[in-house]
Amino acid sequence: MKIQNITINKYKAFQRSEILAIGSKNVFIYGENGSGKSSVYYALKDFFQSSVENINMANLRNLYLTDGLTDCAIEVEFDNNTTNSLSDSGRDTNIPSIIDANRLKSFVTYKHLLGVHNVKLDNELNIFDLVIKGVLKHYKSQTVTGGVELGKLWSDLLAESKIPYGSGKYYHATKKRKAVEVKAVAFNNALDRLFFTGGSDYLGPVVNKILNTLIPGLEINFLRHRINVDQKGELSKPKIALLISSNGTSLDTHYPHFSLNEAKLSAIAISIFLGAIVRQSSFSQDIKILFLDDILIGLDNEHRLKLIKLLKEPEFQDFQIFITTYDRHWYEVAKVQLTDWKFLEFYKGSSGPEINDNVKSDIEKAVVYKNSYDYPAAANALRKVLEKTLKEKLPETYTLSEEVKGLLKPPKLDTLINRLKEYYKELELEIPNSIIDGLKTYKTVLLNPMSHDDVESPIYKNDIEAAFKLVDDLQKIDLPTREVVIEKNKVFTIDLPAISYTAEIITANNIYKINNDGAVTFSSPDFTFISWSRQGVNNAKMTGNPPQEYSKAEWLNVLSKGPYKIDKILVSLNISFTNVGLPNIPLDDLKNAMTCDGKTLTQWLV
pLDDT tens-digit profile of 545-592? 889 999 989 988 888 888 999 999 999 999 999 999 999 999 999 999
- Percentage of the chain modeled with pLDDT above 90: 50
pLDDT reported for residue 310: 93
The answer to whether 151 and 134 have CB atoms below 8 angstroms apart is: no
Query: What single-letter DSSP state applies at residue 58?
Result: G
Q: Is the dihedral of CA 296, 300, 305, 307 positive or negative?
A: negative
Residue pair 140/147 in contact by the 8 Å Cβ criterion: yes
Helix (H, G, I), strand (E, B) or coil at 124: coil
Residue 563 CA to its chain's centroid (Å): 53
At 428-456, the pLDDT tens digits run 888 887 777 777 777 767 666 655 555 55
pLDDT band per the 50, 70, 90 thresholds, residue 458? low
Please give the single-letter amino acid code of residue 271.
S
The pTM of the whole model exceeds 0.85: no
Strand partners, 357: 344
Please state whether beta strands 519-522 and 511-516 pair in parallel, antiparallel, or not at all (unpaired): antiparallel
Helix and strand counts by DSSP (H, E) for the chain: 20, 26
Mean pLDDT calculated for residue range 513-541: 93
Query: Each residue of 214-245: pLDDT tens digit?
Result: 999 999 888 888 999 999 999 999 988 888 88
Q: What is the pLDDT of residue 605?
A: 93
Q: In angstroms, rounded to a whole number, what is the distance separating the alpha carbons of residues 22 and 337?
A: 18
pLDDT of residue 462: 82
Cβ contacts of 419 within 8 Å, gap of 6 or more: 390, 394, 398, 399, 411
Residue 308 has pLDDT above 60, yes or no: yes
Adjacent-strand bridge partners of 346? 31, 355
pLDDT in tens, 186-213: 999 999 888 876 667 788 899 999 999 9
Sorted by sequence, the CB contacts under 8 Å of residue 294 that are 6+ apart come out as 38, 109, 110, 324, 325, 326
The H or E element spanning position 566 is helix 566-579
Q: Please tell me the distance from the alpha carbon of residue 521 to that of residue 87, in angstroms, as a whole number.
A: 65
Q: What pLDDT shows up at residue 256?
A: 55
The DSSP symbol for 524 reads P
CB 140, CB 128: distance < 8 Å = no
Report whether pLDDT(252) > 70.
no
Query: What is the tens place of the pLDDT at every residue in 310-329?
Result: 999 999 999 999 999 999 88
E strand or H helix that includes residue 560: helix 552-560
The pLDDT of residue 457? 56
Instruction: Report all structural domains of the chain as residue ranges with CATH numbers, in order of start.
Output: 1-104+287-359 (3.40.50.300), 108-283 (no CATH), 374-479 (no CATH), 483-604 (no CATH)
Question: Distance between CA atoms of 191 and 586, rounded to whole angstroms?
Answer: 109
563 near 596, Cβ under 8 Å? no
Q: How far is the CA of 196 from the CAs of 157, 203, 237, in angstroms?
A: 20, 9, 18
Q: How far apart are CA 603 and CA 227, in angstroms?
A: 106
Selection from 118-132, 259-273, 522-536 with the highest mean pLDDT = 522-536
C-alpha dist (Å) from residue 122 to 240, 254, 257, 307, 599: 14, 8, 9, 28, 101
- Span 354-406, pLDDT tens digits: 898 877 888 888 888 888 778 888 888 888 898 899 999 999 888 888 766 66
Q: Between 326 and 262, where is the model more confident?
A: 326
Which residues face 482 on adjacent strands? Answer: 514
- Please, which residues have CB within 8 angstroms of residue 434's CB and are 6 or more apart in sequence? 473
Q: Which residue has the higher pLDDT, 103 or 492?
A: 492
Indicate the DSSP class of residue 328: H
Q: Residue 117 — very low, low, confident or very high, per pLDDT cuts 50/70/90?
A: low
Please state the length of the chain: 606
Q: Regarding beta strands 73-78 and 83-87, do their DSSP bridges make them parallel or antiparallel, or are they unpaired?
A: antiparallel
Q: What percent of the chain has pLDDT over 70?
A: 93
What pLDDT was estimated at residue 66? 83
Q: What is the dihedral of CA 102, 27, 2, 139, to 10 degrees?
A: -20
Structure confidence at residue 400 (pLDDT): 86
Judged on CB neighbours under 10 Å (0-12, 13-18, 19+), 555 is middle
| Nearest residue to 299 via CA among 291, 290, 308 | 308
59 by Cβ neighbours in 10 Å (0-12 / 13-18 / 19+) ranks as exposed
Q: Residue 121 has what pLDDT? A: 47
Q: What is the mean pLDDT of the chain?
A: 88
pLDDT digits (tens, 9 = 90+) for 41-85: 999 999 999 999 999 999 999 988 888 888 899 999 999 999 999
